[in-house]
Amino acid sequence: MEALEAQEKQKPTFELSGKLAAEANRFNGITLLYSEPAEGRRPHVKWRLYVFRGGEEVNIPVEIYRKSCYLFGRERRVADVPIDHPSCSKQHAVIQFRQAEEEGADGTLLKEVKPYIVDLGSTNKTFVNGVAVEPQRYYELVEKDTIRFGNSSREYVILHENSVD
């Protein structure tokens, strides 16, 4: 009886699901493995990724503050930041800026946009500060975190415009 009442209370959802949802989440003819969440926001702080290999900086910093999310992977038609190492997946991981609420010192709620990383179920994992992150789960990134994708020797250090040394 209770199961029937619970079923009656459940409201219908008319959102896309299954194949229709997958088809709606396409870019350049490729189905994306990631959909941006409702709390996704463009950051107010100018975040950058500094790329190192063997302790030496190899590229100019990657500016990651112009959009709310950045896809990393080998598939150049959809990746915002291409990673060419063979151990990396076509759609490997995403850095997503999300709005989060925190309680301030005076007890008020503050809304802040913070960077998070999510591994998209890659074969060879995503590492933050040398620790593999669990797939399909958001991990908050903080200033000076080091990110590595698969078995690539390139490391990405996340800093922002107000970073000190």
Average pLDDT, the chain: 85
Does 28 reside within a domain? no
Inside any domain, residue 53: yes
pLDDT exceeds cutoff 70 at 165: no
Higher-confidence residue: 67 or 33? Answer: 67
Going by C-alpha positions, the residue among 50, 45, 46 that lies closest to residue 157 is 50
CA–centroid distance for 2 within its chain: 40
Is 19 a domain residue? no
Q: Is the pLDDT of residue 154 over 80?
A: yes
The residue range of the domain holding 114 is 37-160
Q: Is residue 143 part of a domain?
A: yes
Global pTM reads 0.79
Residue 22: is its pLDDT beyond 50?
Answer: no
DSSP annotation of 12: P
Examine residue 69 and state whether it is found in any structural domain, yes or no.
Answer: yes
CATH number of the domain that 152 lies in?
2.60.200.20
d(CA 122, CA 136): 10
> Which ranges constitute the DSSP H helices of the chain?
2-9, 18-24
pLDDT of residue 16: 42
Share of the chain above pLDDT 90, in %: 59
User: For position 100, what pLDDT does the model report?
Assistant: 86
Counted domains in the chain: 1
Residue 5 confidence (pLDDT) above 70: no
Residue 69: what pLDDT? 94
Please give the pLDDT value at position 105. 81
For the segment 97-106, what is each residue's pLDDT rounded down to a tens digit?
999 888 878 8
